[in-house]
Amino acid sequence: MKRRSDDDAVTRAYLRRITGYDVTEVKSEYKVNEDGELELMKKTENVKHIPGDPRAAEFWLTNRRPELWRKNPAGPEGEGEDGGGVIEIPQVAEEPGEEEADG
């Protein structure tokens, strides 16, 4: 099945929104000369950065890689692999010589 070119265009545009991009704004000032024609007086270009959108990135990741980025780490049924839906964090042993002070 072939992807349509408009799908590719939307994907590229969405990735630009996620990562951010630069836009060049051009401002031109004209005056009317003695012949009644417009004459360019001043032209300025300003590069403006449009920052990436973290919400768009979140949406992309949760839909493209749900196993890594879904909001409910316990899974769609509400239970983890062990059935409890709890993530255990192992304790870190204290370094030798680092004892808590009593007092």
More confident residue, 52 or 77: 52
Residue 48 in any domain: the answer is yes
Q: For 101, which DSSP code?
A: -
pLDDT tens-digit series, residues 23-74 = 999 999 999 999 989 999 999 999 999 999 999 888 888 888 888 887 765 5
Confidence of residue 103 (pLDDT cuts 50, 70, 90): very low
Which range of residues forms the domain containing residue 44? Answer: 5-30+40-69
Amino acid 11: pLDDT: 87
pLDDT tens-digit series, residues 10-22 = 889 999 999 999 9
> How many residues in total does the chain contain?
103
Average pLDDT over residues 78-82: 50
Q: In total, how many domains does the chain have?
A: 1
Token pair belonging to 36: 């009644």
DSSP 3-state of 45: strand
pTM of the full structure:
0.49
Amino acid 83: pLDDT: 52
Residue 61 in any domain: the answer is yes
Burial code of 56-87, b = ≥16 C-beta within 10 A, e = fewer? Answer: ebeebeeeeeeeeeeeeeeeeeeeeeeeeeee
